[in-house]
């Protein structure tokens, strides 16, 4: 499958500095900022700076340095946001079935409250 990246998506605009964001952490390859509509006391979005549409795109085509930086930064944010002890959830929605709204890879780090079960049972 050929991945097609739309550089007009809202996170691309955040990366270019065209839209403000509440930055939590920034590294060479990764930016983390607070979700504009938080669904938990901690709700941080973590994105790679490179043009990747979704998780599988990133996992298959990003460099080792980008992947290491992204993964390590997610761990650092869990520590810095204080969700290690109480627990947290990481979600990455992809494509139509995953109901992905913004077509630039992002993982949600959610914590600070009991998040309930992951999904409703399939019908
Ligand atoms: P998705 O449904 O694609 O997994 O999640 C997209 C997330 O991006 C949503 O939780 C939404 O609240 C968040 N979001 C959308 N636009 C903006 C924005 O301009 N700034 C920030 N910080 N978050 C946004």
Ligand 1 neighbours by CB, cut-off 6 Å: 10, 19, 21, 33, 35-37, 45, 93, 100-102
Distance CA 4, CA 68 (A): 23
Q: How many angstroms is it from 37 CA to the middle of ligand 1? A: 7
Spot the catalytic one: 29, 104, 106, 108. 106
pTM: predicted TM-score of the whole model, two decimal places:
0.97
pLDDT at 119: 87
In this structure, how many other beta carbons lie within 10 angstroms of the beta carbon of residue 94?
A: 15
User: Looking at ligand 1, which atom is closest to the CA of residue 37?
Assistant: 12
Contact at 8 Å (CB) between 47 and 15?
Answer: yes
Q: How many angstroms is it from 102 CA to the middle of ligand 1? A: 7
Distance CA 50, CA 52 (A): 6
Q: What is the rounded average pLDDT of the residues 28-34?
A: 98
Question: Catalytic annotation on 106?
Answer: yes
pLDDT at 104: 98
Edge-to-edge strand order for the sheet containing 30-34?
Answer: 23-26, 30-34, 42-48, 107-111, 88-91
pLDDT digit string (tens) for 51-70?
999 999 999 999 999 999 99
Phi-psi region of 82 (alpha: psi -120 to 50; beta: other; left: phi over 0): left
pLDDT at 1: 76
Which residues contact residue 119 at a Cβ distance below 8 angstroms, ignoring those fewer than 6 apart? none
pLDDT at 122: 79
pLDDT at 120: 83
pLDDT digit string (tens) for 65-121?
999 999 999 999 999 999 999 999 999 999 999 999 999 999 999 999 999 998 888
């Amino acid at each position: 499958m050929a991945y097609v990246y739309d550089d007009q998506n809202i996170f691309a605009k955040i990366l270019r500095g065209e839209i403000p964001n509440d930055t939590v952490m920034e590294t060479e390859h990764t930016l983390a900022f607070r979700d504009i509509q938080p669904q938990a006391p901690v709700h941080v979005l973590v994105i790679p700076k490179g043009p990747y549409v979704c998780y599988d795109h990133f996992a298959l085509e990003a460099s080792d340095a980008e992947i290491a930086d992204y993964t390590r930064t997610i761990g650092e944010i869990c520590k810095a946001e204080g969700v290690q002890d109480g627990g947290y959830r990481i979600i990455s929605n992809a494509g139509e079935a995953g109901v992905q709204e913004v077509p630039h890879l992002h993982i949600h780090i959610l914590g600070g409250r009991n998040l309930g079960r992951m999904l409703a049972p399939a019908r």
